[in-house]
Amino acid sequence: MGGVTSSMAAKFAFFPPNPPSYKLITDDLTGLLLLSPFPHRENVEILKLPTRKGTEIVAMYIRHPMASSTLLYSHGNAADLGQMYELFIELSIHLRVNLMGLIGSPGYSSPTIMNASVLEINLPLLFAYVSVCRYDYSGYGQSTGKPSEQHTYADIEAAYKCLEESYGTKQEDIILYGQSVGSGPTLDLAARLPQLKAVVLHSPILSGLRVMYPVKRSYWFDIYKNIDKIPLVNCPVLIIHGTSDEVVDCSHGKQLWELCKEKYEPLWLKGGSHCDLEHYPEYIRHLKKFISTVEKSPSQRYSSRRSTDHFEQARKSTDFFEVSRKSTDRREKPRPSTERPEKLKNHSNNADKLEKLRMSFDQMERSRRSVDCHEKSRKSIDHQLERARKSVDRLDRIRNG
């Protein structure tokens, strides 16, 4: 039963275009790999990367010379590099980014490509100086092998390894972006990279099985168990989901956000479906805000939050001290109360009254003691005067006798 269900989930998850939308050719003069029928661009590199599963995937790296971060992009499930090529060129131009990515599609259905006018209007508002890496899953486009969950994990590892070894990209400069099924390999890798800069999840899934059935627990035969992996991610996580998503319900994104260790303000696009979120102006603005935030150094990013946290802890500390002081003032040890809030309030008022009475009695006692001390001093002086007077009288009697 488990194997059958897992196979069903895999068939539901992967829809590689057939035939592929591009061909891979080698330029006779330069020896560079090219995507046919697309023209060669100086800042675009086409790569063939071996994976630990024995397959070879095709990746596209779009470089920007001033990039400080690299976006490793894992898309959905129904497109390949050829279908997304022009979109990513536009992204690199308007975002001034280096780009490397693993391709799928914008979702489970056929891909929706943003047109140039949308990019011209919105994308300049986004972040600057980010490289982008994108790649075809095994079995997609001209990548060899067959698509599967385990293959996609090996695929994203190969792309990540390429960024580290071929381009010198550091873990702390990488932002993982996963859309739809792409959220699976994204979170699997993110859970194993403790110094990652950030993660973006676009219409993510809780798990493959949960897209089809509302199961309450994770089964061994399920695929892409993001629900179990996202608590292991240590970096900031942005989640974007459409409220009218007909393929992956918005509840998937909301539940994942609740499980994030380091939550960033999510974006729930009202009326957004599974394949059109890029068209919303809010998408661009919110992504820009997120990227700008994580581009800051960790000390800058967390200084204000730490400051408010420190203030809050100090306030709570003084509150605790105050509670402890009042507790020690009481004659009896405080006991956990099971009374209603009103009774607790009355009890607190009575305690305040008793405290005031005790202070009044203390003041009266101090005053009385002060008076007694004064009285004793006065009697001592009177006694000394009396003794002196008697001494004088005795001297007079001696002299007269």
**Is 245 a known active-site residue?**
yes
Q: How far is CA 311 from the centre of its chain?
A: 22
Q: Quick one: angle between helices 149-167 and 183-190, nearest 10?
A: 60
* CA gap 288, 293 in Å, rounded: 9
Q: How far is CA 261 from the centre of its chain?
A: 6
* CA gap 383, 377 in Å, rounded: 10
Question: Exactly one of 6, 138, 180, 203 is catalytic; which is it?
Answer: 180
**Is 310 a known active-site residue?**
no
Question: Exactly one of 64, 75, 151, 274 is catalytic; which is it?
Answer: 274
**Pure H helices in 32-182:** 81-95, 116-122, 149-167
* CA gap 217, 228 in Å, rounded: 10
Q: Peptide bond preceding 37: is omega within 30 degrees of 0, i.e. cis?
A: yes
* CA gap 139, 14 in Å, rounded: 9
Which residues, including other chains, have CB under 8 Å from residue 135's CB and lie 6 or more apart? 49, 57, 58, 59, 60, 74, 81, 100, 101, 102, 103, 143, 155, 156, 158, 159
Q: How far is CA 279 from CA 65, 183, 243, in A?
A: 28, 20, 15
Structure tokens at 143: 């990548």
* CA gap 224, 219 in Å, rounded: 11
Nearest CA to 207 out of 2, 7, 9, 5 is that of 9
3-class DSSP state for residue 358?
helix
The number of C-alpha atoms within 13 Å of 371 and in the hemisphere containing its C-beta is 6
3-class DSSP state for residue 160?
helix
Question: Exactly one of 245, 249, 252, 276 is catalytic; which is it?
Answer: 245
* CA gap 118, 30 in Å, rounded: 35
Which residues, including other chains, have CB under 8 Å from residue 117's CB and lie 6 or more apart? none
Q: Peptide bond preceding 19: is omega within 30 degrees of 0, i.e. cis?
A: yes
**Is 180 a known active-site residue?**
yes
State the catalytic residues: 180, 245, 274
